[in-house]
Amino acid sequence: MIETKILVTGGAGFIGSHLVDKLMEEGHDIRVLDDLSAGTLDNLKHWANHERFEFIRGDMRNPEVVAEAVKGVETVFHLAANPEVRIGSQSPELLYKTNILITYNLLNAMRGSNVRYLIFTSSSTVYGEAKIIPTPEDYGPLEPISVYGGAKLAAEALISGYAHTFGFKALIFRLANIVGKRSNHGVIYDFINKLRQRPDELEILGDGTQKKSYLHVSDTISGMLTLFEYFKNTNKTVDFYNLGNDDWITVREIAEIVTEEMGLNPELRFTGGVDGGRGWKGDVKFMRLNIEKAKKTGWRPKLSSYGAVRKSVRGLLLTM
């Protein structure tokens, strides 16, 4: 069992709220810290009056808010972040504040606390354009091609430095593209919105050959909790795990699944993209993570990339 009390930063968001659901179901005392900039209380309303649930609305850019949130906590799942990769080309300052600065504030607050474990959701974008696919955790040198990826890598480095210096254990997950209900950004969400506005045509960023690995949020949560239990029993101060899938899927194939599930037959219009067919500047065109290290602990995804995408489309169509 995971030590209680547990703090989940970003717990009102897409992945965070699914994590809160699972931790509450397991009987833990949960405190959520979220400023609701990307998340919503609707994701947590079923726990609102539960005696083991506490919600703090606060901005992690304020060190006092973070210091208060970590009081009495032994384990922190740090999911708070700006989840939009594309924002890096528009506002690097915002990505710094909502990824690096908030992580720094959390780590500083942890120095004077009883926190023993920090679990951080990083991203496959830290690998950049990897020359080895599927990409293992020990791939290097890490060369992100987006400001988002750079911010995630900076947060990883801070966490590692603080863990080794100040005596807590840190587990870092490098996530593939995570999909499922409650998601409010990403290619599936965008396609559904576009088709609802114009059912006869679907604009697709890039040339459609972008190919990536997708993981359903249910498999993500099971992976995080399984690997955390395993990590606690190791002698490592910091460890890294990829969470993704063994297969991958193209943007065109995702578009075809979405249109099929919506019962539509639109014209697919590709923008052509930038830099050889990428959807945007900084978009990693081909991404598949090596998940053998995670699978050795007994975890493996139940849904393939294709299955994850189809289940996500069906879930979003019911809730969007």
For the chain, the straight-line distance linking the first and the last C-alpha, in angstroms and rounded, comes to 35
User: Comparing C-alpha atoms, which of 152, 146, 251 is closest to residue 208?
Assistant: 251
User: Comparing C-alpha atoms, which of 113, 122, 18 is closest to residue 63?
Assistant: 113
Catalytic member of 104, 148, 189, 214: 148
Distances (CA, A) of 191 to 35, 113, 204, 245, 308: 27, 44, 8, 22, 16
Supply the angle between the helices 251-262 and 187-197 in degrees, to the nearest 10.
50
Return d(Cα 267, Cα 280) in angstroms, integer.
21
214 is a catalytic site residue = no
Is 32 within 8 Å of 70 (Cβ atoms)? no
Phi then psi for 213, rounded to 5 degrees?
Answer: -95, 140
What b/e readout covers 20-44, taking b as 16+ CB neighbours within 10 angstroms?
bbebbeeebbbbbbbbeebbeeebb
What are 133's two structure tokens?
Answer: 């696919």
Q: Residue holding tokens 């995804």?
A: 301
Is 103 within 8 Å of 121 (Cβ atoms)? no
With a CB cutoff of 8 Å and minimum separation 6, the contacts of 146 are 85, 88, 89, 125, 281, 282, 283, 284
Is 141 within 8 Å of 208 (Cβ atoms)? no
Residues that are catalytic? 148
